[in-house]
């Protein structure tokens, strides 16, 4: 099917602190979300002539024909959620963050792609729980048409978006009404931590992918420690580009500890600085600096994770944290190619072919690099959807081969398994007569 383009208002939403809610009560949270969809969200989307494009575990993407329709839907959903939460226990309140953008989109097989979609998703990450964040174009189109106030958040450098985007916060409550403080989430019954985005102090914004990749690896390593509750990356990365008070982070995410730091990559050397803070007191429990060559980058990541674990719970056996040291590759160049390809994939649909080229180069260096194999398979699927491949059947077979190779080396890695399975299912669906 040939891809088409059109102008649309895009609404992206997700559940704030979703991983914390699921960790505390998976069954109850999923049941509550199902009821919210059926009783509030889906009817509001239909009432404003929106089209639900897709849902994820904690989010959804909706397309509207106008900015007014998108904003009306968003404000009514947030108002409905505020009413529901008024009588709900603090630790069970479900709050949505919503981002809205308007722009040119690519439509293929019911899905939508393009910068317009990517910006909406990043604006969602800027929104506070229960709030709405919009681009300047949305604000301009809505002024004078809706009884809403917009607070200018200034130019925002959004992740994987080349140009700065001016953002506005939508005031859904009357300006005179006091803004209630977000209630603190109770701490879980085991050590809990959020790893905030590390600052890229290289001086080159193009190296953001490397700093973000380092944090992702540290989160993954800590997540493999069974006794430690680790906040998912999509929640902790909502603070990217900000300098939040760690006590506020602890209240909003329901964690006892916060890890923050910086990454400097220069020439063949890399330096990681990190500090661990108790969010209940603001006291710095530990700080350290890790220097090494780029060939030592995996070892440096493990040192950070193991050091943090040792400070949080000194009595733990070293063997428990050593299990987190398994790496899908030991080839630094393959690792760097994978990080670049992964970042490009999410930046724009126009970058998928270049992302695939980088991933295939990573696979050439390490044919058993599971994450790269799985993402290469996903890239082939995306290229088929975009209609930007020359040999549709040949590329389908290549993507299938990558997915099967990924499953062969995946072990028990759930991310590799999920991405490879998605690519295989998509391949089977598109190849059906």
Query: Does 179 map to a domain?
Result: no
d(CA 327, CA 75): 45
Residue of 320, 268, 275 whose CA lies nearest to 297 = 268
pTM of the predicted model, to two decimals?
Answer: 0.46
Query: Does 204 map to a domain?
Result: yes
Q: What is the CATH number of the domain that holds 308?
A: 3.40.50.10610
Q: What is the CATH number of the domain that holds 33?
A: 3.30.70.1230
Per-residue confidence (pLDDT) for residue 313, from 0 to 100 = 57
Residue ending a domain, among 139, 171, 203, is 171
Q: Lowest-confidence range among 19-23, 274-278, 320-324, 392-396?
A: 320-324
d(CA 366, CA 334): 7
Query: Does 177 map to a domain?
Result: no
Query: Does 181 map to a domain?
Result: no
Q: Given pLDDT bands bounded at 50, 70 and 90, which one contains residue 325? A: very low
Per-residue confidence (pLDDT) for residue 319, from 0 to 100 = 33
Are residues 199 and 346 located together in one domain of the fold? no
Q: How many domains does the chain have?
A: 3
Q: Given pLDDT bands bounded at 50, 70 and 90, which one contains residue 52? A: very high
Per-residue confidence (pLDDT) for residue 75, from 0 to 100 = 94
* DSSP structural state of residue 196: P
For residue 350, give both structure tokens.
């126009």
Are residues 122 and 35 located together in one domain of the fold? yes
Q: Given pLDDT bands bounded at 50, 70 and 90, which one contains residue 292? A: confident
Are residues 94 and 143 located together in one domain of the fold? yes
CB neighbours of 20 closer than 8 A, spacing ≥ 6?
185, 188, 231, 235, 253, 254
Query: Does 283 map to a domain?
Result: yes
Are residues 160 and 67 located together in one domain of the fold? yes
Q: What is the CATH number of the domain that holds 369?
A: 1.25.40.10
Are residues 313 and 415 located together in one domain of the fold? no
389-392-398-404 Cα dihedral, nearest 10 degrees: 120
Residue of 292, 185, 289, 306 whose CA lies nearest to 247 = 185
Are residues 302 and 420 located together in one domain of the fold? no
Tens digit of pLDDT for each residue in 104-131?
888 888 888 888 898 998 898 888 889 9
Q: Domain limits at 111?
A: 4-171
Are residues 276 and 365 located together in one domain of the fold? no
Are residues 28 and 148 located together in one domain of the fold? yes
Are residues 311 and 419 located together in one domain of the fold? no
Are residues 198 and 311 located together in one domain of the fold? yes
Query: Does 184 map to a domain?
Result: no
Are residues 315 and 361 located together in one domain of the fold? no
Query: Does 185 map to a domain?
Result: no
* pLDDT surpassing 50 at residue 317: no
Most confident range (mean pLDDT) of 63-77, 262-276, 378-392 is: 63-77
Are residues 165 and 229 located together in one domain of the fold? no
d(CA 197, CA 237): 6
Per-residue confidence (pLDDT) for residue 403, from 0 to 100 = 92
Most confident range (mean pLDDT) of 76-80, 143-147, 170-174, 188-192 is: 76-80
Query: Does 42 map to a domain?
Result: yes
Average pLDDT, rounded, for the chain:
81
Residue ending a domain, among 104, 138, 171, is 171
């Amino acid at each position: 099917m040939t891809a088409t383009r059109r102008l649309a208002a895009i609404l992206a939403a997700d559940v704030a602190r979703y991983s914390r809610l699921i960790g505390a009560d998976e069954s109850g949270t999923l049941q509550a979300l199902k009821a919210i969809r059926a009783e509030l969200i889906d009817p509001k989307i239909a009432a404003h002539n929106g089209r639900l494009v897709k849902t994820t575990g904690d989010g959804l993407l909706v397309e509207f024909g106008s900015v007014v329709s998108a904003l009306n839907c968003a404000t009514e959903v947030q108002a409905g959620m505020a009413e529901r939460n008024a009588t709900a226990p603090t630790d069970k309140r479900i709050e949505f963050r919503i981002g809205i953008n308007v722009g040119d989109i690519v439509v293929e097989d019911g899905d939508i792609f393009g910068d317009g979609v990517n910006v909406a998703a990043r604006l969602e990450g800027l929104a506070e729980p229960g709030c709405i964040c919009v681009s300047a174009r949305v604000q301009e189109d809505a002024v004078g048409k809706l009884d809403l106030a917009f607070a200018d958040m200034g130019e925002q450098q959004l992740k994987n978006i080349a140009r700065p985007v001016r953002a506005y916060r939508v005031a859904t409550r009357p300006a005179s009404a006091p803004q209630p403080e977000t209630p603190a989430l109770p701490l879980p019954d085991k050590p809990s931590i959020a790893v905030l985005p590390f600052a890229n102090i290289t001086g080159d914004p193009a190296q953001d992918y490397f700093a973000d990749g380092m944090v992702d690896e540290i989160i993954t390593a800590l997540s493999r420690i069974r006794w430690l509750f680790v906040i998912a990356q999509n929640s902790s990365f909502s603070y990217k580009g900000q300098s939040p008070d760690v006590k506020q982070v602890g209240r909003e995410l329901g964690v006892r500890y916060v890890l923050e730091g910086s990454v400097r990559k220069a020439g063949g050397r890399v330096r990681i600085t990190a500090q661990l803070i108790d969010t209940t007191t603001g006291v710095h429990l530990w700080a350290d600096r890790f220097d090494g060559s780029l060939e030592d980058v995996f070892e440096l990541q493990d040192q950070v994770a193991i050091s943090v674990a040792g400070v949080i719970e000194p009595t733990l056996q070293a063997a428990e944290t050593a299990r987190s040291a398994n790496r899908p590759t030991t080839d630094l160049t393959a690792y760097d190619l994978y990080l670049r390809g992964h970042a490009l994939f999410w930046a724009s649909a126009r970058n998928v072919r270049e992302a695939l080229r980088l991933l295939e180069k990573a696979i050439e260096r390490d044919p058993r690099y599971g994450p790269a194999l799985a993402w290469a398979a996903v890239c082939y699927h995306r290229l088929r959807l975009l209609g930007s491949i020359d040999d549709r059947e040949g590329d389908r077979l290549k993507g299938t081969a990558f997915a099967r190779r990924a499953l062969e080396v995946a072990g028990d890695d759930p991310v590799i398994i999920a991405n490879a399975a998605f690519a295989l299912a998509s391949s089977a669906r598109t190849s059906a007569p």
